[in-house]
A and B are shown apart, each in its own frame.
Chain A
Amino acid sequence: MLRIPCPWCGPRDEPEFRWGGEVPVLRPGPPEAVCAAAWAEYLFMRENPKGWVRERWVHACGCRQWFVVIRNTVTHEIRATAPLGEPLPEIGP
């Protein structure tokens, strides 16, 4: 069970949070201008890397705020978290 440092509430156990997938995922639009491939890319295609990944989580049983987490999918290490739109360290190799 992960221990996730919420930028607003501090470190809490994983069951308080909900996972929201990789970021950034840009929502294309307007709909008429989006080709099928681009829409499929947006809906389904993710990097799913082995190693460091940038993803968003929400503190569902706490402050209900979404924020960004840098997590390693192999070791589950969490390097940093930050509110949406605030700078985070670049994820290296």
Chain B
Amino acid sequence: MSRHAHRLERGGRIDRSRPLDFEFDGRRYEGFAGDTLASALLANGVRIVGRSLKLHRPRGLIGAWSEEPNAIVQLGEGETTVPDLKATQVELTEGLVARSVNCWPSARADVFAFLGIFAPLMPAGFYYKTFKWPSWRWFEPAIRRAAGLGVAPTRPDPDRYEERHEHCDVLVVGGGPAGLAAALAATRAGVRVVLVDDRPVLGGALQWEEKLIDSRPALEWVAEAERELRAASHTRVLTRTSAFGCYDHRLVALSERVAPQSRLPIRERLWHVRAAQVVLATGAIERPLVFPENDVPGIMLASAAMSYAAQYAVRPGTRTALLTSTDFAYQAAKALQARGIEIAAVVDTRADPGEVAADARRAGFAVLAGYGPRRVHGARAVRALEVARLAGGAPAHTEQSPLRIECDLVCVSGGWTPTVHLFSQARGALRYDAQRAALVPAAGPKGLQCAGAAAGNFALRECLTDGFAAGRQAAKAAGARADAGVAPMAQPERCAVAPFWSAPHADRRKAWVDLQNDVTRADLALAVRENLRSVEHLKRYTTTGMALDQGKTSNMNALGILAELTQVPIPEIGTTTFRPPYDPVTLGALAGRRIGALYHPLRRTPLERQHAALGAVFEDFGAWRRPAWYAAAGRGRQECIRAEKRAARGAVSVFDGSPLGKIEVRGEDAALFLDRMYYNSMRTLAVGRIRYGIMLSEHGVIIDDGVCMRLAEDHFLVSTTGGAAERIFSGFEEWLQCEWPQLRVLVTNVTCAWGNIAVAGPRARELLALLSTDIDLDPGAFPHLAVRCGRLEGVPVRIARVGFTGELSFELNVPAGYTAALWELLLARGASSGVRPIGVEALQELRTEKGYLHVGTDTDGRTLPADIGMGDILARKSEDFVGRRSLMRAEAQRPDRLQFVGLAADDPATLLPVGAHVLADPQTRRGSHGYVTSSCMSEALGRSVALGLVQAGRRRLGEPVEIYCDGRLSSAHIVSPHWYDPKGERLHA
């Protein structure tokens, strides 16, 4: 076949001086700049562009844009490949490589075509009925290979995607006549306008319907409108941009194809547009007709045939029959004839189409009124259309009928379906308009309206006046004062339709409703016979409308057929729910820049560089990136952690505690407020002293623990666990603002303002004494659980005698900017004392052997204060606090609750796995009495240690238990959690 064999001599918005080479299914072709992949294939005489999902039937182009169900391609190769694009929407570029999906080796010669023989065995629900035994999972891989679509790239996408936010007064979706008129009206009224269209050029159907606007060729009007809109500084025009989702309060999501037409190094751009007013001028999509063998390549929507001929100068066929139930087909017949395509006949299912048919006959067209389709001749391409006179709705046999019309193209036109997807996504209601045979918008949410064909106004004249009025009204509602002027005008035209939902067919030839998912009229009938009468059930059972095209050409026909089959009128059947996206969106566009290091914001401590220089191995703990341990050359992880622990127990260690939450609470009611926030009493805390406390939810459950320091009568510093600072702080705010607004308290989260270094170990005081400070470090003057403010090396410091290791410990809090200097000073001065930095891993093991619990690790979402041995405080505190009433519940008093204890493996070398269960009945290995929460090998004790939550644990100290994990049993005893230094003598050193 020679290149451009089906290209028209003249016309089209293509650039014949710029030929482009491309490849489809391994063969090379040539198209022109301005072509889509689909139009270029058609110009090259490629008629089979895809295979159907289930039966692998050869399929040709039906549509010319996003409605196309058949021409699904995999674009490009390697890491930038994109699966499942519609060839009708792919703009041709030099060297483009595309491959049809769901077939091998090509759509033309597909080895799976034999599946068509089994068509009678594969009705609706075939998969559910056939592959349920023994399990769908057995069959799934093979079925997915035979009935899959495109393939995802296996390597990371190297391209860049961008995200933008936009605010405007009026957003107009759709750049056809109605949308352009709306955008013009709003722009002239002086408000901020965004006009968006998913095609590369504005004009919509005016690109192929040759009509007059204001007595000039419509495309001249389009060009002038575009110039005016682009020149206006307050209006933004976005083409190649699909508005795919419409959300609450008029948030509309757009996906813009930037590459390859732009030189910007961006592939796609995701827009979040928040508009005061939205005008949906999204147009309408033509419906095919449902009749036997209506999937043979060469059967095409009349509007698509017009688009190929006028926009791309491609002849979709040489001789065509038009099959219709609308007035629109007569326009199409004239337009196609003008492009040199022979019109065999206009077959109209309406017995009396009226004037439109009379006009056509006068113009020399053969019109067969009251005829319907019987079948199509040809398997891989249309050879002829067989029609018959309709009697009582069915094709009858008479002397003239059936008639065989020789043709290589059948243009179908079953009426228009308004594109109401976005309107419906935003919860706009739809109403069936019998005269237009369409679901049209009814009541919508505030500030959202449809205009033009999307509102059911299919004639150009009404599109223009309706669009202009919508733009004017939207601008006014958004506060515009200026006048928009006069609406553009066009000639009246005939748009009558009498729906012909399907040709009742006596024979067994298949009549397709959903071409992409291979759903036939018989499948719908079977589903109805099986009593799946709800449209939502019908959709899921037959999968009609559930393919990539989301039923753009099939949903309305399916609805009409369901109404016929069930004898229920369409308005009572209702529709399925429209959901975003209107057209598929790439995951790259949705992810945008939120990938890799930008996936979520990372919190870094002021000492990150120092840690890195010391060989720290970083891990993410909550939002914080912290040193897990410090690597030393030639030593493994465990060995390094052991050395860190030895330094803390035997000499002195430094630990970066900067992520520790720090909340300042000030004001005359600060003590009263904290007394209500903590389970423990805080009013009795003396100035300069520290108290360990736990905080509860209103359900009595422990949500955080930490120390509370009283710096002055009216000034407290609350410390929280690293990950909880934000949560506890906003909790404080909520209680203060919503429950006790009369309390005079100010809370401030100062977590990041202060660095924190914990100096811990028997030689901690010795190390601090090497630094100059005005604080008396003598244990008599500065005991355990005291806090002192002063200066350290001239820098303001808050020193707290608290820690998480169980050793003599000082937490040094300095303004964050001084943390690094202090850290380096401590390491330098402490060299002779054997100072060593320790990471989170060592600290966790030190606190485990000390028996300090970690909220969220050693407690769960049910743990109450009494469960961790702090029940006695309740009796001593008389005031109310958050969660108090919940501790009085019977459930909270049960003696068999899970309680915090130690678990000692009988074999000291056995490490009890975290999560292992304490068996309720070791004989049957059934039931759980709790589980291991923390576990490690203790250097100091020379054995394994573990903590856990065990049913009635404290009553059962000394009792032997069996611990179960992954089929293995370990014998252990319940012990006190305080493994190391149970009397706490080392803390008080």
Residues of chain A at the chain B interface (Cβ within 8 Å): 1-3, 13, 18, 20, 27-32, 34, 36, 39, 42-43, 56, 58, 60, 64-66, 75-78, 84-85
- Tell me whether B734 is interfacial, beta carbon within 8 Å: yes
Q: Which residues of A contact B249 (CB under 8 A)?
A: 1-3, 76, 78
Which segment, of B59-67, B583-591, B646-654, B879-887, faces chain A?
B879-887
Q: What interface size band does chain B fall in?
A: 20 to 34
Q: Are A36 and B889 in contact (CB under 8 A)?
A: yes
Q: Which residues of B contact A65 (CB under 8 A)?
A: 737
Q: Are B885 and A34 in contact (CB under 8 A)?
A: yes
Q: Which residues of B contact A66 (CB under 8 A)?
A: 733-734, 737-738
Nearest CB to that of A60 among chain B residues? B730
Q: Are B885 and A75 in contact (CB under 8 A)?
A: no
Given A29-B880, A64-B733, A77-B446, A84 and B739 contact (CB-CB distance below 8 Å): no
Min distance, Cβ B936 to any Cβ of chain A, angstroms: 37
- Tell me whether B888 is interfacial, beta carbon within 8 Å: yes
Q: Which residues of B contact A27 (CB under 8 A)?
A: 739
5 additional contacts (CB under 8 A) given A20-B738, A30-B880, A66-B733: A3-B249, A43-B886, A64-B733, A66-B738, A84-B738
Q: Are A1 and B248 in contact (CB under 8 A)?
A: yes
Q: Are B738 and A3 in contact (CB under 8 A)?
A: no
Q: Give the CA-CA distance A39 to B251 in the complex, in Å.
A: 40
- Tell me whether B166 is interfacial, beta carbon within 8 Å: no
Q: Give the CA-CA distance A84 to B733 in the complex, in Å.
A: 13
- Tell me whether B114 is interfacial, beta carbon within 8 Å: no
Q: Which residues of B contact A30 (CB under 8 A)?
A: 880
Min distance, Cβ B695 to any Cβ of chain A, angstroms: 17
Nearest CB to that of B726 among chain A residues? A60
Q: Which residues of A contact B698 (CB under 8 A)?
A: 42-43
The residue in A30, A31, A64, A85 that gathers the most chain B C-beta atoms within 10 A of its C-beta is A31
Q: Are B737 and A2 in contact (CB under 8 A)?
A: no
- Tell me whether B445 is interfacial, beta carbon within 8 Å: yes
Q: Give the CA-CA distance A79 to B249 in the complex, in Å.
A: 12
Bitwise interface map of B from 240 to 267 toward A, beta carbon under 8 Å scored 1, else 0: 0000000111110000000000000000
Q: Are B248 and A58 in contact (CB under 8 A)?
A: no
- Tell me whether B741 is interfacial, beta carbon within 8 Å: yes
Interface residues of B in 871-899 (CB under 8 A from A): 880, 884-886, 888-889
Q: Which residues of A contact B247 (CB under 8 A)?
A: 1
Q: Give the CA-CA distance A58 to B698 in the complex, in Å.
A: 19
Q: Are B274 and A39 in contact (CB under 8 A)?
A: no
Min distance, Cβ B43 to any Cβ of chain A, angstroms: 44
- Tell me whether B642 is interfacial, beta carbon within 8 Å: no
Q: Give the CA-CA distance A18 to B249 in the complex, in Å.
A: 17
- Tell me whether B699 is interfacial, beta carbon within 8 Å: yes
Nearest CB to that of B249 among chain A residues? A3
Min distance, Cβ B251 to any Cβ of chain A, angstroms: 5
Min distance, Cβ A12 to any Cβ of chain B, angstroms: 10
Q: Which residues of B contact A1 (CB under 8 A)?
A: 247-249, 251
Taking a contact as CB atoms closer than 8 A, the residue among A39, A42, A58 that contacts B730 in the complex is A58
Q: Give the CA-CA distance A76 to B738 in the complex, in Å.
A: 24
Min distance, Cβ B569 to any Cβ of chain A, angstroms: 26
Q: Which residues of B contact A84 (CB under 8 A)?
A: 737-738, 741
Q: Give the CA-CA distance A42 to B698 in the complex, in Å.
A: 10
Nearest CB to that of A23 among chain B residues? B738
The residue in B249, B446, B739 that gathers the most chain A C-beta atoms within 10 A of its C-beta is B249
